A and B are shown apart, each in its own frame.
Chain A
Amino acid sequence: DIQLTQSPSFLSASVGDRVTITCRASQGISSYLAWYQQKPGKAPKLLIYAASTLQSGVPSRFSGSGSGTEFTLTISSLQPEDFATYYCQQRNSYPITFGQGTRLEIK
């Protein structure tokens, strides 16, 4: 199985900050990586797929990059609604796997 390791697991930041979350895969997964945002009590929401394609309706302050084994999600200027938990997910091979999550909190 492909393991995804996110760093950091917890991040404290302020509105307006630029933040980056990293996802490392245990083996190469080309660009077969997505990022999701989840708020408490809600279902996850797809932000980015194929490593860097912004899902329709997602603000342009979100961006993704990377390929192979290292990927990043960047939020260019944090907004109050961005404080949530973020997960990466690979679809290179079954079983589909998720990272452990990065909890982004207000400083």
Chain B
Amino acid sequence: EVQLVESGGGLVQPGGSLRLSCAASGFTFSSYSMNWVRQAPGKGLEWVSYISSSSSTIYYADSVKGRFTISRDNAKNSLYLQMNSLRAEDTAVYYCARDLMVRGPYNWFDPWGQGTLVTVSS
């Protein structure tokens, strides 16, 4: 079964840091590009970041550029999001999402993890 499981969310003060992880199983992780997408409470979906299968290509939303860093470890079947200088507006459920097909990017997101909640508050 293809599965993505996020972890690492929690409560952090403004200006603080947090590292999210996404553990992948049931497919050849190293063949797929990956993304992070977030959803603020009661709001819509916002794409955060993209990383290619080999980590050679990375993109960020302007709202997180310079503060967030996406990375992956194909040997550990894991995706990461290092979040620094966190702001209240970063409060959201963060989802990792796999590209639909290999040899992308196609940037059709399927499947998604269950999400991990990040709350930035003093």
Chain A interfacial positions (CB closer than 8 Å to B): 34, 36, 38, 42-46, 49-50, 55, 87, 89, 91, 94-101
Interface of A is mostly: loop
Interface members, chain B 32-91 (any A CB < 8 Å): 35, 44-47, 50, 59, 61-62
Complex contacts, B108 vs chain A, CB 8 Å: 34, 46, 49-50, 91
Report the minimal beta-carbon distance from B111 to chain A, rounded to whole angstroms: 8
Q: Which of B62, B100, B107, B112 contacts A44 (CB 8 A)?
A: B112
Max chain B Cβ within 10 angstroms of own Cβ: one of A91, A97, A98:
A91
Which A residues touch B107, using CB under 8 A?
91, 96
Show 19 residue pairs from A and B whose CB-CB distance is below 8 angstroms, ordered by the A residue.
Answer: A36-B45, A36-B109, A42-B114, A43-B112, A43-B113, A43-B114, A43-B115, A45-B110, A46-B108, A46-B109, A46-B110, A49-B100, A87-B44, A87-B45, A89-B45, A91-B106, A91-B108, A96-B107, A98-B46
Q: Which residues of B contact A94 (CB under 8 A)?
A: 50, 59
Question: Is B95 an interface position by the 8 A CB rule?
Answer: yes
Other than the known A34-B109, A45-B110, A96-B47, what 12 A-B pairs have Cβ atoms closer than 8 Å?
A43-B95, A44-B109, A46-B100, A46-B108, A49-B100, A87-B45, A91-B106, A95-B47, A98-B47, A99-B44, A101-B44, A101-B45
Distance, CA A94 to CA B107, complexed state (A): 10
A95-B110 contact given A43-B95, A49-B100, CB 8 Å threshold: no
**Given the complex of chains A and B, what is the CA–CA distance between A7 and B15 in angstroms?**
37
Rounded to whole angstroms, the CA-CA distance of A96 and B114 in the bound complex is 20
